[in-house]
Amino acid sequence: MLTQEKNDLTRNDITNDTLVLILAGGRGSRLYELIDRRAKPAVYFGGSRRIIDFALSNCINSNLLKVGVITQYAAHSLLRHLQRGWSFLPYERNQYIDMLPARQQLDENTWYRGTADAVYQNMAMMKSHYRPKYVVILAGDHIYKMDYTQMLRDHVENGAKCTVGCIEVPREQAVEFGVMAVNDKLKVKESVEKPSNPPAMPDKPNSSLASMGIYVFNADYLYDVLEREASIPGTSHDFGKDIIPKAVEEGVLYAHPFERSCKGRNASGSIYWRDVGTIDSYWAAHMDLVSEEPQLDLYDES
């Protein structure tokens, strides 16, 4: 009983100290006509749902109730969806889903220049208004069910300053992802973007750990590394290309295997995560819903 109370207290402490930022500003040009008038995270999926609903539902089910949605391209449809469907959190209890549009703080012609810059341009508000201890950064265009609390717990227990969510994939498929080389404690030794020869997992020579674009940061470390990255000329202002390699170099990055926190496995026990960034992957994800034993069950309450 005492152990359960301790676990519950730890969960509450971690979630109360955490801000979630969902990156929802990308144009998603590979989806062509689907994003002609709306941001990619606002594209319909599986009927009346929107792609961003998966990340938002994961947050609510993980008891992460302080959320900022970073927007830029064609934000009106996304804003309307959030206002009509996600405005139920009581702000007086310090629970919210806030919109964070590009405010052109650097100068009037500067929009968000990359994923890292999108967070950097909101850093002043994070320090003065939100004041989190931990920051979870999510992509707004992936389809999956996950308990982020388990990833946060692993982050704290490992003494990490940054943790990246990873999914196990066959090595031949890993050439399409950012891949993490880890030791037996899941500390990341190397981060490689779309490698021709992906590093294998320890004891699994035919598998690699691919980044899911999910990050947990200690807030102080995030502020520091973003400040340093912003001052480097010629940077791409991207988490995967710039920030994560820096965390590897400084020895503060750990990997979190998705299988530890995945919710709603299918009938065969497989985990499910899809990046629906192309027409083909968007169509394939819909086909996953309609098979006799669907790979993703939208009615599974787990």
All structural domains of the chain with their residue ranges = 2-290
**Cβ-based neighbour number of residue 82 at 10 Å:** 23
Cβ burial, residue 188 (10 Å; 0-12/13-18/19+): buried
pLDDT of residue 6: 42
Q: Are 100 and 69 in contact (CB under 8 A)?
A: yes
Q: What CATH number belongs to 2-290?
A: 3.90.550.10
Nearest Cα neighbor of 135 from 279, 20, 260 is 20
User: Residue 283: how many CB atoms within 10 A of its CB?
Assistant: 11
DSSP state of 77: H
pTM of full prediction above 0.85: yes
Q: For residue 170, what pLDDT is reported?
A: 96
> How many angstroms separate the CA atoms of 252 and 221, rounded?
10
Q: Which of 252, 105, 243 is nearest to 187 (CA)?
A: 252
- Report the interhelical angle of 148-158 vs 2-16 (nearest 10°): 100
Residue pLDDT tens, the chain, 302 long: 334 434 544 667 899 999 999 999 766 556 666 666 677 888 999 988 999 999 999 999 999 999 999 998 777 889 999 999 999 999 899 999 999 987 655 555 567 888 999 999 999 999 999 999 999 999 999 999 999 999 999 999 999 999 999 999 999 999 999 999 999 999 999 999 999 999 999 989 999 999 999 999 999 999 999 999 998 888 889 999 999 999 999 999 999 999 999 997 766 678 999 999 888 999 999 999 988 788 888 877 66
How big is the CA angle at 273 (ends 178 and 220), to the nearest 5 degrees? 55
